[in-house]
Structures are given as C-alpha cells and as structure tokens.
Amino acid sequence: MRTARRASNVEVPSFLRQLVKETEKMVTFFFKGGSREAGPGGEEDSLDEDDLMPSPYLERPILEKHVSEGGSQPGVNYAVASMQGWRAQMEDAHTCMPQLRGELTEWGYFAVFDGHAGTTVAQYCSRNLLEHILATGGVKASEDPEQVKEGIREGFLDIDRHMHKLARQDNWDRSGSTAAAVLISPSYIYFINCGDSRTLLCRNGQVVFYTEDHKPFNPREKERIQNAGGSVTLQRVNGSLAVSRALGDFDFKEVDWRPQTEQLVSPEPEVYELERTPEDEFLILACDGVWDAIGNEELCAFVRSRLQVCDDLREICTQVIDLCLYKGSLDNISIIIVCFPGAPQVSQEALQRETEMEQQIDMKVEEIIQMMRSRDEDPDLLYVIKFLAAEEMPGLPPGGGITSKRDCIISAYQKHIMTHRSQEPMDIEGSEDSSN
C-alpha cells in the first residue's frame, strides 16, 4: 500500500532525552516509591527489600516498532504494529490470519495477547489457540452462530487445560495472558474477549460495539473470585493479578473443589456475534497499553481521521502507538487495525485541511521561538509543546489533539531553530563591520 501523507520521521535525540527524563520521574514516583533522599549524614538510606526486586520498567523506553500488513480476497485489509516501550520485557503477541484454509477461505482471524509474568503463554496461544478452536468442529462454513460461539468457548477451555498439563510436566513459567480476538465470516463478526485487552468496531463513524474488560472488581467477577475462596484487594485478585480472566496463570487455578470456569481466574471467554453490514468501517484490537492512554471513542475518531489523509495502515498503527506513548502509556503497546470496504478513503479535502493545520502549527512554533529569544530565553522544545497544548487550535486530529502532531512540531522546531542559528554569525559579523 502507498502512503498518501506520512508523518515526519525526524529523529530528535535531545527531545527524546528530555521526554524520557520527565517520564522516568513519573515512573520512579509511582512505581519505585519516589526518588531516594540522602540521609542526615549525607548517605543514602539502606536498601529495603523492594529495592532488591527487579523493576518491571526500563530506565529508557525501547522505541523500535515491529510492523506488518496484509489483506484477503473479500477486501479486508489489516496492519499490525507493536512496541516494547517502558516494560522490561516484550510480553505481547499477536496472530493475523486474514484468510483461513479449507472450507473457511472466506473467514479471517485476528488476535492480540497481552502476557504477564512471562511470555510463554502469550506466545503459545498466538501460535495454537485457533487450532484448538477449529478442532472443536463448531466453526463451519455452514455457520450456525451458536455453534461457532460454543466452539470458540470450548477451544479456550481446551487450550488452557492443555497448557496446565504442560506446566505441571515441563515446568513452564507461571505466566498468563489476556486474549482479545475476532473471527470474521462472510456474514458475522465474532468478538472474543478474555481479560482486559479490547476490541471495537467502528460502523458509520461510530463505535457500535466494544468488549468489556474483565477486572476483579466487576461485581460478577468479584463474586466468582470470592466463591473460590479468594479476595479482591487493591482491585486485584488476592492483591496480585489485575485481570480476573486469562489463559494460563495456573497459580490461580488450583482450587480443586471448583470447576475450570469458576476458578479465581477463569479461562472462559465472552463471545458475541454481530451481523456484518456495508457500513462497517474498521476493527481495532489492542492490548491495554493502548486503552490505558486513550478511550474507545477517541481512538475510533483518531483512526477514522487518519484514514482520510493516509492510505498506509502501517503508518496509522505506528501513529497510534506514538500517540499512546506520548500520552503516558508505560506498557507494551500492540494494535491491529482491520479495514473493511466501507472504511473512509483518502480525500483531497481532508488532505487540504491537514496541510493548512500543519502550516498553522509551523507558524505558531516560529512565533513561540521568536518570543522566547526576544526574552533571551532558550527555546526549549518541551516548552514549545506545552505552550501549544495550552492553546486552542482548530483542525487538530480528533482523539489525538496536539499530541498526535508532535512530529510536525519537531520538524518545525528544528527548521526555525536552524534558521535562527544560521543568522547569529551574520549578526556578529555585521556588528564587527560597524565597529571598524
């Protein structure tokens, strides 16, 4: 696919260093107990037990993105992008199969898996979950929606039993994983959710369906946890796990007197079917590294606006990841966008509006730099961004705001800073000439 309008790829190491430094302070404050103060004698306090534990966060985020795209005969196109970010490990995984085999060649399957406490379960499920679902025999070209949903449910329970057996025999790590997936037939979209990754459908410009997160404090989830002898403390299962349904997590599935679906953590997915329509525009599947930073309607509006100025889904996925990072997401970030034939197309009107808005940003950046230099202040990039964020600026991408145009700001900042710096030696020479 070809990019109609691609964001700037300018690298600004100094900007990233400043941004990382600010975000690191936030990470330190919330997750490491705040900055360590020196004791009265000038020495740091002795380390406590928490200091000896490895931090789940890096001192610097890993910004490399892994991106791919594809399509299928029925006109369904997709792209996927993922980034490790601030996390010490990349624990997300995904599966993209726009066209299944055999009698299901008109079906597609997409899934994201958000691992925790390790990568084993997420990776295993990304490779094998669909096979377990299809092995139930419930998914057939003749398509009985109730049988399909039951096949999906049984597939989840079966792979969880299988992994539990492997964990006992092969001493796997005790990791777990959420799973958010869609199975797309010619007639229906099946939404599958187990945990707090999420899927939504944009139809005719609106979010018409999204999956509900499985959190321990949800009344139905809390009741099941307590019936299995557990508790919900600090909004977590037994004060530890932040999701109430997941694949794996077998330490929370050892209550002998409760069935598989009634354990502290349940592997049972919720499955819904929605009939397809020509107004269907796109699906978004993403881990909570996305949803922690942006809401359903905001993300839907942002992606929809980007589709009108860019026909490269990979680029739009990376823009979403960058937006979430700069909105403060500290997690691994993974997203799949699946576009239907009814998705918005690139339009000249939208491109013109985008161009005018970016020109306005360029002029604003120049004004701010000139204002700061007139005060003999250093035109700091972070200050420029904060100044712009405080101003009302029409035409910004809905759901993204000024944060989504940081590449444009960076490009304008670099251009005008270089212009001012190139003028400085001329000013000095002119003053020397006048003194002679």
Of all residues in the chain, the percent with pLDDT exceeding 70 is 84
The contacts of residue 215 (CB under 8 Å, 6+ apart) are: 196, 221, 235, 242, 243, 244
Q: In Å, how far from its chain's centre is CA 247?
A: 20
Predicted confidence band at 396 (pLDDT cuts at 50, 70, 90)? very high
What mean pLDDT is predicted for residues 7-30?
45
Q: What is the pLDDT of residues 310-345, one digit of tens each?
A: 999 999 999 999 999 999 999 999 999 999 999 999
pLDDT computed for residue 373 by the predictor: 85
Chain-wide mean pLDDT for the chain? 87
Predicted confidence band at 425 (pLDDT cuts at 50, 70, 90)? low
Domains of the chain and CATH, by start? 64-339 (3.60.40.10), 348-430 (1.10.10.430)
Cβ 138 vs Cβ 154: under 8 Å:
yes
Q: What is the pLDDT of residues 39-70, one digit of tens each?
A: 434 444 444 554 556 788 999 999 999 999 99
Overall residue count recorded for the chain in this entry: 436
Of all residues in the chain, the percent with pLDDT exceeding 90 is 74
Tokens of 161: 């039993």
Cα separation of the two ends of the chain: 62
Tokens of 56: 């789940």
pLDDT computed for residue 40 by the predictor: 39
pLDDT computed for residue 420 by the predictor: 74
What mean pLDDT is predicted for residues 95-124?
96
Q: Which residue type, as a one-letter code, is found at position 158?
A: D
Predicted confidence band at 353 (pLDDT cuts at 50, 70, 90)? very high
Phi, psi of 177 (to 5 degrees): -160, 140
Cβ 314 vs Cβ 67: under 8 Å:
yes
Q: What is the pLDDT of residues 266-314, one digit of tens each?
A: 999 999 999 999 999 999 999 999 999 999 999 999 999 999 999 999 9
The contacts of residue 305 (CB under 8 Å, 6+ apart) are: 350, 397, 398, 399, 400
Task: Identify the weakest region by mean pLDDT among 19-23, 106-110, 130-134.
Answer: 19-23
Secondary element (H or E) of residue 272: strand 270-275
pLDDT computed for residue 25 by the predictor: 45
Predicted confidence band at 27 (pLDDT cuts at 50, 70, 90)? very low
Whole-Å CA distances, 378 to 10, 22, 149, 373: 21, 18, 61, 7
Tokens of 351: 């491109």
